[in-house]
């Protein structure tokens, strides 16, 4: 269950990731998580064309609109709550997008060390 006192990876209060494209497991604009969120959609990222192509190649097409799910499709520059493991895979492949640390849920640190996230911090 999400909490209004959820922390980000820096120890502060979790900030919104995106309301333009309703993101997050709960589609509330935040990268909140819960036990049902098996993918752990906790990394607030600024997606790039390179990352979107990588994700599609991995079997998760985030660029194609899916109106039946209320999903407009992502384009470069959109902010989106990514699965922590997918972001880590993208980092290993050299295509990880920038991360909004203030909007990235603290549970991400169970999968990705802060030392890996900081070099990708969006400014």
Q: What is the CATH number of the domain that holds 107?
A: 3.30.56.110
Residue 12 lies in a domain: no
Scanning the structure block, which residue is given the tokens 């470069």? Answer: 76
Handedness of CA 10, 110, 45, 96 (dihedral sign): positive
State the first-to-last Cα distance of the chain, in angstroms, to the nearest integer.
30
Residue 48 lies in a domain: yes
pLDDT digit string (tens) for 74-106?
A: 999 999 999 999 999 999 999 999 999 999 999
> Cα dist. 112→4, 49, 66, 72, 89 in Å?
23, 22, 29, 28, 10
Helix (H, G, I), strand (E, B) or coil at 43: strand
pLDDT digit string (tens) for 46-64?
A: 999 999 999 999 999 999 9
Residue 22 lies in a domain: no
Q: What domain range is 112 assigned to?
A: 41-120
Residue 34 lies in a domain: no
How many folded domains does the chain comprise? Answer: 1
């Amino acid at each position: 269950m999400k909490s209004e006192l959820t922390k980000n990876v820096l120890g502060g209060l979790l900030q919104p990731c995106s309301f333009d494209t309703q993101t997050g497991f709960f589609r509330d604009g935040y990268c909140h998580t819960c036990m049902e969120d098996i993918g752990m959609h906790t990394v607030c990222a600024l997606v790039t064309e390179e990352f979107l192509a990588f994700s599609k190649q991995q079997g998760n097409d985030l660029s194609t609109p899916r109106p039946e799910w209320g999903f407009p499709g992502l384009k470069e520059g959109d902010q989106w709550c990514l699965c922590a493991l997918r972001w880590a895979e993208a980092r290993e492949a050299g295509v990880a997008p920038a991360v909004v640390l203030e909007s990235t849920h603290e549970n991400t640190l169970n999968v990705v060390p802060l030392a890996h996230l900081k070099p990708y911090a969006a400014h």
